[in-house]
Amino acid sequence: MKDYLIALEEIIEEQRQRIKRMEESSPLDLTLVPTIIVGIIPGDGIGPFIMDHTKKVLDHLLKEEIEEGKIEFRNIEGLTIENRAKEGKGLPPSCLNEIKKCHVLLKGPTETPDARANVMNIESANVALRRELDLFANVRPVTIPQKNIDWIFFRENTEGEYVLGSKGIELEGMALDFKVTTDRGTERICEAAFKYAKAKGNLKVSIVTKANIMKKTDGKFLKICYEVAQHYPSVPADDWYVDIMAANLLNPNRQSEYQVILTPNLYGDILTDEAAQLQGGVGTAGSGNIGDRYAMFEAIHGSAPRMVKMGRGKYANPSSLLKAAEMMLNHIGMTDKADKLKAALDETAKAMKMTGKGDGNTGEDYVTMVLSKI
């Protein structure tokens, strides 16, 4: 028992140090950066396929900025399942060193093996990246105009169950995992959500927790959200338990009521996949991971290794990563380029049949049409 108490003390001290780093952090102003370095991480499985398509579009869209030295694309090698398993780390130090030389990242899906896989059960690369780069805000938009759905999720990205997911303990006859909610970690995701809601015309912020059950962690999250809300009196706010919110997102009579949805880490992960499925599947949704110093934009779906093994990689839908690229362009201040890409993606999505199989369009078909519409 003594060993477990020591392990718990180490976890608590680690979190205290993380709080200290959060309090000392200050944002980077990208408008003052002469050359914005974009790290390209293809990922695993279908990742290299959809990254090739997305990079082709960005090379065309940003041709002038690249030639003028305003944008530099830099390939990040080694963040593959093979290399991560070889090194026994979710995020090899050599990769992290190169990543930290960039300002923003565009990332394909990376594989996270589980206990059933014939690979070391290493930490998720995404979880490691979010922690190491302190990417505290996971931002995921979902838009379905015909259903009057226009949601944007602000998911806390560095706390909850995920930050300690690889540090649980096993005792005789039981296993324990941990969940952490800090004041500062909650304050900053709340600030991001309410600031966005105010800037977009005082959109309503809906806070999602299970504070009736998780009284300490979710209770703290809900309490701090409402404390932050007091600084934004023009922004309406309400709160929902996660199970009811999951049901309401499927209810046609309630869907249009939601605008900005603010969640802790785990609930946001689940709800955004549900929301993306309503939009047309996780293959249609992009995601931004925003911190003070770094930002990472990615497809929200997995690496689909089975699809590649079956020889269907060329049929992978690149729209999720292309939408992430659109978010990236907005983040670095190139809103006109982002608008052009969005318009092209909207038109292309209506024309393409992306089944992921031989009876549908290929990724190359998709990107050819996108380029023709820009």
pLDDT score at 170: 83
Third-level CATH fold of 24-135+291-374: Isopropylmalate Dehydrogenase (3.40.718)
> 254: pLDDT confidence band, cut at 50, 70 and 90?
very high
pLDDT higher than 90, residue 365: yes
pLDDT score at 121: 66
Mean pLDDT of the region 169-176 = 86
Cβ pair 235, 194 in contact under 8 A: yes
CATH of domain 140-284: 3.40.718.10
Distance CA 42, CA 316 (A): 14
pLDDT digits (tens, 9 = 90+) for 85-107: 888 888 999 999 999 999 999 99
| SS3 state at 144 | strand
Residue 139 host element (H or E)? strand 137-144
pLDDT score at 117: 54
Exposure b/e, 32-47, CB count within 10 A at least 16 = b: eeeebebbbbbbbbbb
| Strand duo 137-144 + 286-290: pairing | antiparallel
Cβ pair 14, 281 in contact under 8 A: no
pLDDT score at 120: 59
Using a 10 angstrom Cβ sphere, with 0-12 exposed, 13-18 middle and 19 or more buried, the burial of residue 275 is buried
Distance CA 199, CA 230 (A): 16
Cβ pair 109, 305 in contact under 8 A: no
Give the chain's mean pLDDT: 92
DSSP codes of every residue in 314-337:
GG---HHHHHHHHHHHHHTT-HHH
In order of 26, 45, 106, 163, the CA distances from 331 in angstroms are 17, 27, 12, 25
pLDDT higher than 80, residue 285: no
> 15: pLDDT confidence band, cut at 50, 70 and 90?
very high
Distance CA 111, CA 179 (A): 23
| Matching fold, domains 24-135+291-374 and 140-284 | yes
pLDDT digits (tens, 9 = 90+) for 39-73: 999 999 999 999 999 999 999 999 999 999 999 99
pLDDT higher than 90, residue 323: yes
- Name, in order, each residue with C-beta under 8 angstroms of 301's C-beta and a sequence gap of 6 or more: 109, 281, 282, 283, 285, 320
Distance CA 50, CA 70 (A): 24
Tokens 């390209």 locate to 40
Spell out the long-range contacts of 79-82 with Cβ–Cβ below 8 A and sequence spacing 24 or more. 79/41, 79/43, 79/110, 79/125, 80/43, 80/44, 80/110, 81/44, 81/110, 81/111, 81/113, 81/119, 81/303
> 118: pLDDT confidence band, cut at 50, 70 and 90?
low
Distance CA 339, CA 3 (A): 55
pLDDT score at 243: 98
List the domain boundaries for the chain: 24-135+291-374, 140-284
> 266: pLDDT confidence band, cut at 50, 70 and 90?
very high
- Name, in order, each residue with C-beta under 8 angstroms of 184's C-beta and a sequence gap of 6 or more: 19, 22, 23
Cβ pair 296, 158 in contact under 8 A: no
| Strand duo 237-241 + 205-209: pairing | parallel
pLDDT digits (tens, 9 = 90+) for 325-362: 999 999 999 999 999 999 999 999 889 998 888 889 99
Cβ pair 192, 290 in contact under 8 A: yes
Beta-bridge mates of residue 139: 154, 288
pLDDT score at 282: 73
